[in-house]
């Protein structure tokens, strides 16, 4: 495995197999894309990373752009039954699940209206980060921003993404941003040019062998650290993600 840079300040994901793949965690302030097909576990993975960080006293914010925050909490609590202190962390304001407060359904297709809607979403996210001094942030998902920043207009989308990333960078947060791919199969997952503006890319996909289907996780890129070049099977359990990596604990 490539060497980790031991001098880099890191945000551990708290998922031991994934931290091994990242030689200790995500370099602090990196902006990481979490890409995968429908139901791969993107929302769950981001939530779990924030949960572990909140437990360490690092204020962590989950911004859902697609679901009701209460539904997200209900779902993660029913999946991760061993995480019995979620409500306590929310009460202590170490962990927050919020939406962006922009009614996306009401946005028209006019270019100026779209840009203004997008700016409102970004300011709303900035406001939530500032309010709790969040250090670790998940945005679930960017698929919606793509819709908001005009369908099929790659340049507007790229500009919108850059605007969001500049704002997150200014706030010095470590960020996970999910994006839904059309397929669960690795061979169908391609990263268009716009995705390489991120500091890191994690991809979650499904493999099929003769008897069973396995879910796999891969670190496609991660700036400022060495990382695993292998893919690792994973499971979602009541105790959180289990990532079966080939890496040994060497950092
Ligand atoms: N309550 C639950 N109990 C057990 N496992 C669950 C539960 N909820 C979800 N899961 C597991 O998590 C997976 C879905 O996770 P998640 O919602 O994070 O996926 P996603 O990639 O965000 O999907 P989408 O593209 O629909 O947003 C399910 O396929 C299932 O394996
Ligand atoms: Mg999801």
Does some domain include residue 3? no
Regarding the beta carbon of 79 and ligand 1, being less than 6 Å apart is answered yes
66-75, 112-121, 157-166, 227-236, range with the lowest pLDDT: 112-121
What is the residue range of 74's domain? 10-243
Residue nearest to atom 31 of ligand 1 (CA): 236
| Lowest mean pLDDT segment, chosen from 52-56, 120-124, 174-178, 205-209 | 205-209
Q: Is 240 in the pocket of ligand 1 (CB under 6 A)?
A: no
Cα gap 177→132, rounded to integer Å: 19
Q: What is the DSSP string of 122-182?
A: HHHHHHHHHHHT-SEEEEE-THHHHHHT-TT-HHHHHHHHHHHHHHHHHTT-EEEEEEE-S
Burial string for 221-235 (b: 16+ CB within 10 Å, else e) reads bbebbbbbeebbebe
Q: Is 120 exposed, middle or buried (0-12, 13-18, 19+ CB in 10 A)?
A: middle
Number of domains in the chain: 1
What would the mean pLDDT of 200-226 be, rounded to a whole number?
Answer: 91
pLDDT at 148: 62
Please give the model's pTM, rounded to 2 decimal places: 0.93
Within a domain: 172: yes
d(CA 186, CA 47): 23
Average pLDDT taken over every residue of the chain:
88
CA of 79 to the centre of ligand 1 (A): 8
Q: What band does 52 get if pLDDT is binned at 50, 70 and 90?
A: very high
Is residue 221 assigned to a domain? yes
3-state SS class at 207: strand
250 domain residue, yes or no: no
Q: Kindly state whether residue 226 falls inside one of the protein's structural domains.
A: yes
**What percentage of residues in the chain have a pLDDT greater than 70?**
88
Residue bearing tokens 């779209």: 114
Cα–Cα distances in Å, from 55 out to 13, 14, 51, 81, 116? 12, 10, 6, 16, 36
**Minimum CA distance residue for ligand 1 atom 29:** 39
Q: Does the beta carbon of 36 sit less than 6 angstroms from any atom of ligand 1? A: yes
Local confidence band at 2 (pLDDT 50, 70, 90 cut-offs): very low
* pLDDT on residue 1: 45
Q: Residue 227 above 60 pLDDT? A: yes
Query: Could you tell me which residue, 104 or 132, shows the higher pLDDT?
Result: 132
Report the separation in Å between the CA atom of 173 and the middle of ligand 1, taken as the mean of its atom positions: 26
Mean pLDDT for 196-216 is 88
Instruction: Assess whether pLDDT exceeds 50 at residue 170.
Output: yes
Q: With a cut of 70, say whether residue 6 has pLDDT above it.
A: no
In a domain, 249, yes or no: no
Residue 93 lies in a domain: yes
Min mean pLDDT across 5-19, 135-149, 170-184, 196-210 is at 135-149
Q: Is residue 84 part of a domain?
A: yes
Among the atoms of ligand 1, which is closest to the Cα of residue 44?
A: 18
CATH number at 30 reads 3.40.50.300
């Amino acid at each position: 495995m490539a060497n980790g840079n031991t001098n880099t300040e890191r945000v551990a994901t708290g998922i031991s197999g994934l931290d091994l793949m990242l030689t200790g965690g995500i370099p602090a302030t990196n902006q990481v894309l979490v890409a995968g097909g429908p139901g791969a576990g993107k929302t769950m993975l981001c939530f779990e990373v924030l949960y572990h960080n909140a437990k360490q006293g690092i204020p962590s914010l989950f911004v859902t752009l697609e679901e009701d925050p209460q539904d997200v909490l209900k779902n993660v609590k029913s999946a991760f039954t061993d995480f019995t202190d979620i409500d306590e962390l929310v009460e202590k304001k170490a962990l927050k699940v919020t939406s962006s407060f922009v009614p996306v359904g009401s946005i028209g297709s006019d270019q100026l209206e779209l840009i203004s809607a997008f700016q409102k979403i970004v300011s709303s996210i900035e406001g939530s980060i500032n309010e709790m001094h969040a250090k670790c942030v998940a945005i679930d998902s960017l698929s919606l921003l793509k819709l908001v920043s005009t369908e099929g207009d790659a340049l507007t989308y790229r500009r919108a993404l850059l605007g969001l990333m500049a704002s997150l960078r200014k706030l010095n947060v470590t960020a996970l941003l999910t994006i839904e791919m059309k397929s669960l199969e690795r061979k169908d997952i391609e990263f268009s040019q716009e995705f390489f503006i991120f500091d890191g890319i994690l991809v979650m996909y499904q493999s099929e062998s003769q008897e069973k289907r396995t879910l796999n996780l891969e670190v496609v890129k991660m700036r400022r650290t060495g990382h695993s070049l292998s893919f690792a099977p994973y499971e979602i359990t009541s105790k959180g993600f289990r990532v079966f990596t080939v890496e040994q604990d060497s950092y």
